[in-house]
């Protein structure tokens, strides 16, 4: 009997270890564009903090927002095992002139193989480069990638976005467009969605995305994590708050057989300084 109990215990340990090795860490991180007016918080003064966050927390795939091409180059130089995909929102290229923002996906190329991907614009004409939708102030994009996990051979999709900061209608319409595109592109394949959605979790935009009455709804990773959430319940820092109350505007969503093992909003700071005006969101996920 003791032998059987020991065998059962060892088998359970092996299963837990296998799940741990098969899981990986996904992050959503608005790194704040390199704005010379930011003074002490200018990119050159905090890029090492951003890199340290990614490296220490072992983020395997990062959905970035507000990343200029020069910032992507800095991250790639500091993280040589990582590659990135995406195009600039203003011209649809990887070498914009003048430089502007990407919603790029940075990924550990030792662990993941990029299979295919693309970018579409959040507008009435999503295939038109630089198109501005509804009441938005700026062109907004979704970059997506199809990956194969080299460790497990599992296939999954990652969609990354940054919704408009002014247009409420644009955010609501963008939510519906995103759901439609995820359904069309990913179909029933496991999918992770990251982004700065510029709206809190009582907004119509958020309710649209997670509405269980909608066949194409997403699940908010914070709501389905196996281990209780770690960290503050807000993601806006303004370079000074460890999560300003009521300002959870950055999210990780899941769809189609993705299990969330852990979920956190990371409020790491260095002597009162934050790596960005947003706190990164991170989840340990398992593709089932």
Q: What would the mean pLDDT of 214-223 be, rounded to a whole number?
A: 96
CA distance 169 to 62: 27
Mean pLDDT of the chain: 94
CA distance 30 to 70: 15
CA distance 22 to 9: 20
Distances (CA, A) of 195 to 66, 75, 111, 187, 282: 11, 18, 22, 20, 11
**Nearest CA to 248 among 235, 231, 263?**
235
pLDDT above 90: percentage of residues in the chain: 92
The CATH number given to 23-287 is 3.60.10.10
pLDDT tens digits along 155-187: 999 999 999 999 999 999 999 999 999 999 999
Contact 195, 160 (CB under 8 A): yes
User: Is residue 7 pLDDT above 70, yes or no?
Assistant: no
Residue with more model confidence, 192 or 2:
192
pLDDT at 21: 78
197 pLDDT band (50/70/90 cuts)? very high
**Nearest CA to 119 among 97, 95, 91?**
91
Residue with more model confidence, 1 or 234:
234
15 pLDDT band (50/70/90 cuts)? very low
Pairing of strands 191-196, 155-162: parallel
3 pLDDT band (50/70/90 cuts)? low
Q: What would the mean pLDDT of 134-140 be, rounded to a whole number?
A: 98
CA distance 281 to 265: 5
4 secondary structure, DSSP code:
H
- Burial of 138 per CB tally in 10 Å (0-12, 13-18, 19+): middle
pLDDT tens digits along 257-282: 999 999 999 999 999 999 999 999 99
pLDDT above 70: percentage of residues in the chain: 93
E strands in 136-269: 141-149, 155-162, 191-196, 219-220, 250-255, 258-265
E strands in 32-140: 61-65, 67-68, 82-85, 101-102, 105-108, 112-121
CA distance 120 to 131: 10
Backbone dihedral angles phi then psi of residue 19, each to the nearest 5 degrees? -65, -40
H or E element: which one contains 176? helix 168-186
User: Is residue 202 pLDDT above 60, yes or no?
Assistant: yes
20 pLDDT band (50/70/90 cuts)? low
2 pLDDT band (50/70/90 cuts)? low
- Domain positions in the chain are 23-287
pLDDT tens digits along 46-93: 999 999 999 999 999 999 999 999 999 999 999 999 999 999 999 999
CA distance 124 to 38: 34
pLDDT at 10: 39
User: Is residue 11 pLDDT above 70, yes or no?
Assistant: no
């Amino acid at each position: 009997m003791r032998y059987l109990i020991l065998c059962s215990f060892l088998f359970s340990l092996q299963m837990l270890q296998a799940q741990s090795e098969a899981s990986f860490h996904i992050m959503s991180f608005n790194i704040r564009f390199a704005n010379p007016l930011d003074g002490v918080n200018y990119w050159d003064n905090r890029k090492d903090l951003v890199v340290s966050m990614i490296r220490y927390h072992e983020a395997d795939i990062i959905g970035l927002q507000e990343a200029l091409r020069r910032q992507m180059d800095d991250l790639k130089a500091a993280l040589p095992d990582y590659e990135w995909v995406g195009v600039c929102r203003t011209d649809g290229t990887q070498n914009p002139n003048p430089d502007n923002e990407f919603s790029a996906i940075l990924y550990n190329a030792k662990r993941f193989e990029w299979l295919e991907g693309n970018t579409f614009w959040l507008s009435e004409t999503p295939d038109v480069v630089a198109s501005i939708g509804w009441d938005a102030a700026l062109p907004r994009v979704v970059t997506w990638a199809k990956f194969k996990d080299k460790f497990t051979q599992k296939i999954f999709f990652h969609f990354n976005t940054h919704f408009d900061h002014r247009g409420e209608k644009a955010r609501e319409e963008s939510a519906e467009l995103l759901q439609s595109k995820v359904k069309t592109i990913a179909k029933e394949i496991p999918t992770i969605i990251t982004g700065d959605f510029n709206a809190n979790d009582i907004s119509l935009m958020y309710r649209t995305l997670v509405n269980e009455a909608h066949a194409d709804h997403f699940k908010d990773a914070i709501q389905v994590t196996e281990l209780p959430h770690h960290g503050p319940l807000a993601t806006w820092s303004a370079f000074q708050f460890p999560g300003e109350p009521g300002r959870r505007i950055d999210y990780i969503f899941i769809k189609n057989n993705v299990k969330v093992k852990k979920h956190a909003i990371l409020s790491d700071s260095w002597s009162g300084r934050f790596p960005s005006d947003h706190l990164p969101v991170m989840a340990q996920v398992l593709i089932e």
